[in-house]
Structure 1
Amino acid sequence: MLKIAQYTESIANLVGLAQEAEQNKNRLQAKKYFQRALELAQPFELVQQYFDFLQRSQDFAEARQLLADFEQEFLRNGQLTDYWQKLWLIADYVILDQSYQRLQYQHYQFSAVEKKQWQGLQQQLATVVIEPDKIAQLTANLLQAATTKTGGNAAVVLAKMQSLTPDAYVQVAQPTLASPMLNPEVRVKLLDEISLFSATYSLTLNWRGELRLLSTDQLTPMQYVPELEQFAVDFAQAQFDQTPDTVDQQLAMSNLLTYILLTYPFCEQELQPHEIWRQFLSKGQIPATANAKEVKELSYWQEQERNLLNNLNA
């Protein structure tokens, strides 16, 4: 692999051209020069320069993507507080609020300075006021998009919700979460985001035709759901042992991810009994050993899977 040093002059030239284009009010060309420089290599200084350009250009969507792509570079360079400050500057309030808890899941050790900075940013975040008209419009748009069979344009609305504060995000999401027509993929995306918020909220969720109260401190981000690891370990062990019911691990994991999505956030309660579900996920068929109650439950979830696949193919 070629080293960054070999590109130093080219990157410097491209940055110089970008700065010249910006001075000449040609921001589109300047952006292209920065992007070309990043294709050559990604020195941390260049990432920071490109961010500063995007902020000046008020290209917040691209700036958010840049920070998402290079979050680990900020950590490696000991610049977590600078990363937080940049999130604040571009109003990426959702990611900012989630950052502390997300890093805790990754066992990051915060310094005293970082903890103090975080507390200050939380105080600042509490002062942000989102326009009521914006909340009302996003609420209506999300409800319309997320209650179609395919989830419609929900991704577009969800992207716009990133500039909301956590309080406003929950306010926008709540009517959709209570809808009996909620698309399961959108449900997962909403709850997965909310699970990382620093504050605790009380939600009303439509689940299997009934409204259920849910405290967000009971939520686990989807990637950390215990059942995901437990079943994956089971499948790997069965394949290693070469038991009579050796599983096609790729098929089993595909089934597992589908049913985690369908049952989230109640995977622990729904994917029981564990052994029956292990057999079901391994083979994709209801086990002959399942009793009448278990057959009924598995049949219900099979129907939900068919609905999901039909909607995706619609």
Structure 2
Amino acid sequence: MTVTTDRQRQVEDELVKTVLASFEGTPDPRLKQLMQALVRHLHAFMREVRLTEAEWQHAIDFLTAAGHITTGNRQEFILLSDVFGASMQTINMNHEATAGATEATVVGPFFVDGSPEIPLGGDMAFGAPGEPCWIEGTVTDTDGAPVPGVRLEVWEADKEGLYDVQYGDGHTAGRAHLYTDDQGSYTFWGLTPTPYPIPHDGPVGRLLEATGRSPLRASHLHFMATAPGLRTLVTHIFVEGDQLLDCDAVFGVKESLVKRFERQTAGTPTPDGRDLSGQSWSRVRFDIMLRPQPSPDRST
């Protein structure tokens, strides 16, 4: 349906003005800006597509379902933000590119506080199924100086495409934290990343199916790097050659984060002498450069 009369346009315009005016007294200037911009854009969308009452009710039902399926280990609204590219766009705007600094990407819905600590060279898989992978690198600041004592949180899915929290039995696997040494270096064992679908048994999955989109994520390993005086970095590394790099369900891939995972045949000696009992394995290097903390009046 299209608007055909000046009177109809006037009625709709007046409502927008009235709603905008209702936020004029908002004490916080930033909150006022956000709410009024939201009103303008939301009403513009509704008027552009001539949203029907049935469609609006369907949207409300969708959001209600997203709330009902959300738990402590399953955040449907993060998935919704991710598949609309809103999570990545927020990251892009708040983590402006700095020459050499490691780029950020989405945290995803499966980060969990309280991961176990492992030593340098330790195994974060904790028995999760998959091909072993040796990960090594150095953390520096933007001046190139090594940063000791950086806390690295690492987490990933197993070869079945599942994170530990998706099993529902309370076990911990495929996640840990460790600290860089005095030279800013780190090493640990993980799993060679494999593709997996984001949870698609809920409303976000039904949305993807209705729009002909895949729920698959490109193979990746999550990192979170934290150090005093430096900006916390949340990022992934992706597997070079993965066919999903150009169609990641949450738009999280950045070219600088695509790394070569070098496959090693069974029997190839490991860097730390680990006996893999005839298993193949892989290795990858990921050097991280952290930016300084932003000044208090800037978010980037």
TM-score, with normalisation over the residues of structure 2? 0.23
Larger helix fraction of residues: 1
Please give the TM-score of this superposition, normalised by the length of structure 1: 0.23
* Greater relative CO (CA pairs within 8 A, separation 6+): 2
